[in-house]
Structure 1
Amino acid sequence: MVEDKGSGTVINWKRNLFILVVSQFLVISAMTMIIPFLPLYLQDLGVTDPSTLSIWAGVIFGANFLTAFLFSPFWGRMGDKYGRKAMILRSGFGMAVVISLTAFAIGPISLLLLRLLNGVISGFIPASIALVSTNTPKERVGYALGILQSGSVSGAICGPLIGGVLAQKFGYSMVFLITGFCIFIATLVVLFLVKEDFSSSEIKAKQLGNTLTEFKMVTARKPVMSLYVVIFLIQFAIMGVNPLLSIFVEELTSPESVAFFAGITLSVMGFANMLTSPILGRLSDKKGAQYVLIWSMLAVAVLSIPQAFVTDIWQLISLRFLIGLGLGGLLPAVNTLIRIHSPSGMESRTYGFSNSAMYLGTMIGPILGGVVISSIGIRGLFFVSALFLLINVAIVKRKVLPAANNYSGLEKGRKGEEVIAQN
């Protein structure tokens, strides 16, 4: 329980967590429903030339991340000023409308504009993370964020499967309407059932400035800047491989089964991630998120290398499952450390900048991954991914570990003083 001093009520953080896990599952499932058939929807909109189609599909897919990258710090600032729940509601209702309107797109340009707009108003997941991290007892934040990630990952696994079935049965336009409806329902659940402990103080209001000033204030706290680099490199290394994995699957299996095995290869990693996120989150609370982060990332880096030598599809699937087990400890651990080291009253802004770093990695990773494949082949891409993850391990060991250990020591000293004072 967390006491809301402004209202005198008691916030049940476990209840909030459960509701947001279910809501995130609905939102992520809904948003990923459209991924499998986006190029096919473009064909319905009149884009039939194969080379033009691939360009439009890439641009439209990335458009959402571009505007999300640009606007994430702004919405983080608004979250600190008006509350994280308000940002969840803003994003949820806004995306419900925009995605529903996508069903009525009349060409690739209108679809592109709607995707750009969707990125502008997005932020349901980052705001949920900020709300959970600031309304959960500090000693349980790792566990809570691990559980929250399980909801997101399970939604990402189910969404494309559900979207494929619905598109085949009802058509592409109807899937956008169903997606918008699902997000609307999830947002209504948050509106009526989630309670937030939030008060906008004068200190918080004074801290509001331009984006550059706030970025300097946030990154002045060690090791926040290093954590932003870490989260960028995680997304860069992972997303540099994931969207291009079907090319490698094509080498290992027959043409008629490529789609099936590509789906399994991606899904098993997500399933493993979902399994270990709560476990490693709980371990973060007990042993320290910095240690879970460094060992999980080392495991993912080392397991990435054997992928370059596989000769059978099931060898690849097995390795992707093991990598997924390690991935379950990465983002929850980083988000836990960001919560611990963020300046008081600027938590949402700190998460806003971290989400921009994540979106940047998500955009650049597939682009450079394609360049690597054209230069040294798909097997070489696994070595490049492992290299960046090992660089990330070095950054965590040198920059994050000392600051996190210093904070842990101060916290233990403070609690010891409280015990002495009570006695």
Structure 2
Amino acid sequence: METWKRNLYILMASEFLVMGAMSMIIPFLPLYLQEMGVTDPEKTQLWSGLIFGVNFLSAFLVAPIWGSLADKVGRKIMVLRSGYGMTVVIFLMGLATSPLQLLLLRLLNGTISGFIPAAISLVATNTPKERTGYALGLLQSGAVAGNIMGPFFGGLMAEVVDYKTIFYLTAVMIGLATLVVTYSVKEEKKPDPKKERAGFFKEVSEILHQKPLLILFSVGFMLQFAMLAPMPQMSLFVDQLGAPGGYLAFFAGLVTAVTGLANMLAAPRLGRLGDRYGSEQVLFFAMLGAAVFFIPHAMVTSVWQLLILRFLLGLCVGGLLPSLNSLIRSKAPQGKESTAYGYSTSATFLGNMLGPITGGYLSGVIGIRGLFIMTAILLISGAMVLRKGLIRPSQHHQEAHRSVSRKLPSAR
């Protein structure tokens, strides 16, 4: 098997384990706080929100630093740094005795995290350019599958073992995944250690002066902001529609899972289309498709209608992040791909943070149905930004190149 394929399959399985392990914690976090002595429901919700969100905050701040370092010392070492670091920190979370300790450990976890962005960077830079879209799509399938299965298994395990044990098991799973990467993944295209590198702030200036990258960072932020804004309200919406048989928790989870399932199925196929027709086109039409399927969300009258729309939405969502990451690889300055991914990660984490907060506020003003319409408008706006800033200039350049070629005398 070719090295890039072996790397891809191993990292896909590792992402499944890491994302599954990380998301196992989510279902019982409020219950873990209650076990620590936080019995007031309002305080439990406050602490849960802070502990969940602070991980994104610290990751948002440090992602560009880790990306820049990856371009200097290598991408694989960044995967290992993150994996082994999270193994230790999550194990310590099982030893926490107060919400403050848990908050500080989540803050530290965000600071050292970055397994997924580092794996994306490693695959993107060690895969043939003509297969990058397919590879990144397959990589996303592994991460999404982990996100789907993690909360399910976390909820089941919380019924069998105590919460602290789940933290220990989570640490073991991440440690095993990192150990496999250590001995099985080979980084063929490594940074040249003899090459003189610019300082961090000079690299910042160089990246932020690349207009195509700025457009892609903006689109990445808009994607995550738009997709996550309605998520905290979905269980309430399912309740409003009336869960069949009164199984609210089951159908609320199913609404999320069915989108992830479609995403997982579509991502590799849309990645292949990106390799064939251009990731710009796939990203543009996937954003428009997602917007089109968000609009009827505002008109559904039953959970079954919502489930169908969420599945169709997931088919479009599968083309978003793989296409975005493929474009970042192609537009980044040579040798600074990981730095560019660092800024992209910061942009998406910012969307992860602000989307649910803004969506929660706006749902009280315009309702969740209005929130679906707003999400569709944001996605259409992002698609137009992409088309105006990236697709049209690229097409114009190609047309100009063909025109010049026709005028040049042919070699005889």
TM-score (norm 2): 0.94
Give the Cα separation in 1 of the matches to 2:355 and 2:343. 18
Pick from 82, 85, 90: which aligns with 1:99? 90
| 2:88 is equivalent to residue 115 of structure 1 | no
Superposed displacement of residue 314, structure 1: 0.5
Instruction: Determine the structure 1 residue equivalent to 2:212.
Output: 223
Equivalent residues of 1:298, 1:390 under 8 A apart: yes
Equivalent residues of 1:167, 1:174 under 8 A apart: no
Instruction: Determine the structure 1 residue equivalent to 2:317.
Output: 327
Superposed displacement of residue 222, structure 1: 3.4
Equivalent residues of 1:223, 1:403 under 8 A apart: no
Deviates more, 1:395-404 or 1:34-43: 395-404
| 2:175 is equivalent to residue 173 of structure 1 | no
Pick from 106, 113, 138: which aligns with 1:147? 138
Superposed displacement of residue 406, structure 1: 6.3
Give the Cα separation in 2 of the matches to 1:307 and 1:328. 18
Instruction: Determine the structure 1 residue equivalent to 2:116.
Output: 125
Alignment of 1:294-313 (within 5 A): 294-313=284-303
User: Letter of the aligned partner of 2:303 in structure 1?
Assistant: I
Instruction: Determine the structure 2 residue equivalent to 1:43.
Output: 34
5+ residue gaps in structure 2?
A: 404-409
Equivalent residues of 2:27, 2:151 under 8 A apart: yes
Secondary structure at the aligned position of 2:373 is classed as helix
Instruction: Determine the structure 2 residue equivalent to 1:348.
Output: 338
Secondary structure at the aligned position of 1:105 is classed as coil
Instruction: Determine the structure 2 residue equivalent to 1:62.
Output: 53
Pick from 73, 88, 104: which aligns with 1:82? 73
Equivalent residues of 1:33, 1:159 under 8 A apart: yes
What CA RMSD, in Å, does the superposition of the two structures yield over aligned residues?
A: 2.1
Instruction: Determine the structure 2 residue equivalent to 1:234.
Output: 223
Instruction: Determine the structure 1 residue equivalent to 2:281.
Output: 291
Change (3 A) 1:408 1:274: farther
TM-score (norm 1): 0.92
| 2:363 is equivalent to residue 373 of structure 1 | yes
Pick from 230, 235, 238: which aligns with 1:249? 238
CA deviations over 1:117-156 (Å, ceiling 9, x no partner): 0000000000000000000000110010000000000110
Secondary structure at the aligned position of 1:169 is classed as coil
CA deviations over 1:70-127 (Å, ceiling 9, x no partner): 0100100110111000000000000011011101111110000010000000000000
Change (3 A) 1:204 1:353: farther
Give the Cα separation in 2 of the matches to 1:347 and 1:306. 38
User: Letter of the aligned partner of 2:310 in structure 1?
Assistant: R
Give the Cα separation in 2 of the matches to 1:172 and 1:256. 27
Secondary structure at the aligned position of 1:343 is classed as coil
Pick from 343, 347, 364: which aligns with 1:357? 347
Deviates more, 1:57-66 or 1:249-258: 249-258
Instruction: Determine the structure 1 residue equivalent to 2:329.
Output: 339
Aligned length: 405
CA deviations over 1:149-193 (Å, ceiling 9, x no partner): 000001101111111111110111111000000000000000000
Secondary structure at the aligned position of 1:207 is classed as coil
Superposed displacement of residue 243, structure 1: 2.4
Superposed displacement of residue 404, structure 1: 4.4
Give the Cα separation in 2 of the matches to 1:356 and 1:97. 23
Secondary structure at the aligned position of 1:170 is classed as coil
Give the Cα separation in 2 of the matches to 1:45 and 1:53. 10
Change (3 A) 1:202 1:169: closer
User: Letter of the aligned partner of 1:247 in structure 2?
Assistant: L
Equivalent residues of 1:135, 1:196 under 8 A apart: yes
Instruction: Determine the structure 2 residue equivalent to 1:416.
Output: none
Give the Cα separation in 2 of the matches to 1:343 and 1:224. 10
User: Letter of the aligned partner of 1:71 in structure 2?
Assistant: V
Equivalent residues of 2:215, 2:385 under 8 A apart: yes
Equivalent residues of 2:298, 2:370 under 8 A apart: yes
Give the Cα separation in 2 of the matches to 1:116 and 1:52. 19
Secondary structure at the aligned position of 1:136 is classed as coil
User: Letter of the aligned partner of 1:260 in structure 2?
Assistant: F
Give the Cα separation in 1 of the matches to 2:218 and 2:384. 12
Equivalent residues of 1:85, 1:196 under 8 A apart: yes
Superposed displacement of residue 257, structure 1: 1.5
Pick from 127, 135, 144: which aligns with 1:136? 127
Give the Cα separation in 1 of the matches to 2:357 and 2:241. 23
Change (3 A) 1:73 1:160: same
Superposed displacement of residue 36, structure 1: 0.8
Superposed displacement of residue 53, structure 1: 1.1
CA deviations over 1:397-416 (Å, ceiling 9, x no partner): 10121344468789999xxx
